[in-house]
Amino acid sequence: MRLSILLPFAGPALAVSCKNHTLWLCGDSTMAPGGGHNHTEGWGQYLQYSLDPHIRVNNSAYAGRSARTFTREGRFQAIFDKLTPGDWVVIQFGHNDGGIPATDTKYRVDCPGMGTETCPVTYDNQTEIVQTYVTYLKNASSTFLSKGARVLITSPTPTNPFESGTYSFNPTVYAYYSWYIAQSLGGPAAGIYYVSHGAYAAQAVRLLGQASADANYPMDNTHLSPYYADVFARAFVLGLKCGTAPVQGYVVNATSRIEGDVLGTCLPANATLPI
Ligand SMILES: *[C@@H]1O[C@H](CO)[C@@H](O)[C@H](O)[C@H]1NC(C)=O
Ligand SMILES: *[C@@H]1O[C@H](CO)[C@@H](O)[C@H](O)[C@H]1NC(C)=O
Ligand SMILES: *[C@@H]1O[C@H](CO)[C@@H](O)[C@H](O)[C@H]1NC(C)=O
Ligand SMILES: *[C@@H]1O[C@H](CO)[C@@H](O)[C@H](O)[C@H]1NC(C)=O
Ligand SMILES: *[C@@H]1O[C@H](CO)[C@@H](O)[C@H](O)[C@H]1NC(C)=O
Ligand SMILES: *[C@@H]1O[C@H](CO)[C@@H](O)[C@H](O)[C@H]1NC(C)=O
Ligand SMILES: *[C@@H]1O[C@H](CO)[C@@H](O)[C@H](O)[C@H]1NC(C)=O
């Protein structure tokens, strides 16, 4: 390889690093290949189009999963086993995480709280000590960081903000927990960033308007049409460009070309946010 020859129009990622990396996606049906089925799609399927091919998206999101079941089924572990230093991991949960473990017949909800609370339940004829969303994702994130990867903790995608007939978006508690995880593990200085994806996607839905929203949440108020999956991927990219995570160096689009009538613009960031 003649690495000393830098092409005059080489993108920033090429100039910064000659080694290829993987961007691993961990999440639920709103991100996963095939979405929630029934002709819906996950936004992770469209992310590669905005990225330099020197970083490859591995969409390991899986429908129906929560922070708890992604951990229990070894899905974080499978990524940990394969990632190499310099890779990035995006973690996004929340749609399948809320409830009370003792009465959850799908054995997937987390223990309520944002600390070390535990909820012992019987699952598969064994005791499962259910942890909080914060415990599961801090655990996964710190293992990824320990292996030299960097981590993006993101708020979940919005449910249809026009569901009531007028636009209304309020971040769920998982947006706050996600911010809190990134902050409590040391934030950008430690290689872990928060992306306000929910707010960026909601901004796009607001700008597209009610008729668009009603048509593109085709199955229920959570799962996305392929078009909205692409819009939400682009909204995520805008969130990356408006933040500080160096993974933005792989984005092929200029910020000025991303901002506009569909996606809107950078959202004000609270100075304490670890973006
Ligand atoms: C790195 O990615 C580029 C662009 O996709 C590709 O041409 C090249 O073969 C890759 N190199 C390695 C070692 O995989
Ligand atoms: C993505 O990563 C998972 C977990 O390591 C692996 O099983 C899967 O084959 C990968 N997918 C692709 C397309 O490389
Ligand atoms: C921490 O992560 C490892 C690797 O994914 C997993 O085996 C372990 O069960 C996790 N522990 C908790 C409390 O989530
Ligand atoms: C749990 O135990 C009961 C009684 O021993 C047994 O009938 C059942 O098949 C077990 N279930 C699983 C999932 O192992
Ligand atoms: C699949 O989507 C159609 C609308 O496109 C809806 O009528 C139907 O109930 C959905 N099926 C399931 C299983 O959600
Ligand atoms: C960036 O450009 C690519 C190629 O034109 C396009 O597929 C992608 O949707 C764009 N991304 C954004 C965020 O505009
Ligand atoms: C910034 O956000 C954090 C977390 O949501 C919050 O605790 C803090 O009060 C906010 N600060 C300002 C100045 O809004």
Candidates 72, 175, 25; CA nearest to 114 is 175
| Ligand 1 pocket test target in 23, 51, 54 with most atoms within 8 Å of CB | 54
How far, in Å, is the centroid of ligand 3 from the Cα of 206? 38
Give the C-alpha separation, 110 to 182, whole Å. Answer: 19
Q: Look at residue 190 and tell me whether its pLDDT is greater than 80.
A: yes
Nearest ligand for residue 58 CA: 2
Residue 132 lies in a domain: yes
Average pLDDT over residues 224-253: 98
Q: Tell which one of 125, 126, 127 to mutate to probe ligand 4, the residue whose CB is within 8 A of the most ligand atoms.
A: 125
Closest residue to atom 14 of ligand 7, CA basis: 270
Residue at 183: amino acid letter: Q
52 assigned to active site: no
Whether residue 2 is contained in a domain is answered as: no
In a 13 Å sphere around the CA of 250, the CA atoms on its Cβ side amount to 26
Q: Is residue 103 part of a domain?
A: yes
230 is catalytic: no
Domain CATH for 24: 3.40.50.1110
Ligand number with the minimum distance to the CA of 19: 1
In a domain, residue 136? The reply is yes
Specify if 274 maps to a domain: no
Ligand sitting nearest the alpha carbon of 126: 4
Catalytic residue of the set 28, 29, 104, 196: 29
Domains in the chain, number: 1
Q: How far is the CA of 54 from the centre of ligand 1 (A)?
A: 6
What is the percent of the chain where pLDDT is above 90?
91
Angle between helices 75-82 and 133-146 (to 10 degrees): 10
Q: For residue 209, is pLDDT > 80?
A: yes
Residue 212 covered by a domain: yes
The answer as to whether 184 is a domain residue is yes
Domain that holds residue 169: 11-258
pTM exceeds 0.85 for this model: yes
Would 4 be classed as within a structural domain? no
The pLDDT of residue 5 is above 70: no
Convert the pLDDT of each residue in 56-79 to its tens digit: 999 999 999 999 999 999 999 999
Task: Read off the pLDDT of each residue in 7-18 and give the average, rounded to a whole number.
Answer: 44
- What are the residues whose beta carbons fall under 8 Å from the beta carbon of 251, sequence distance 6 or more? 50, 51, 52, 237, 240, 241
Q: Is the pLDDT of residue 10 over 90?
A: no
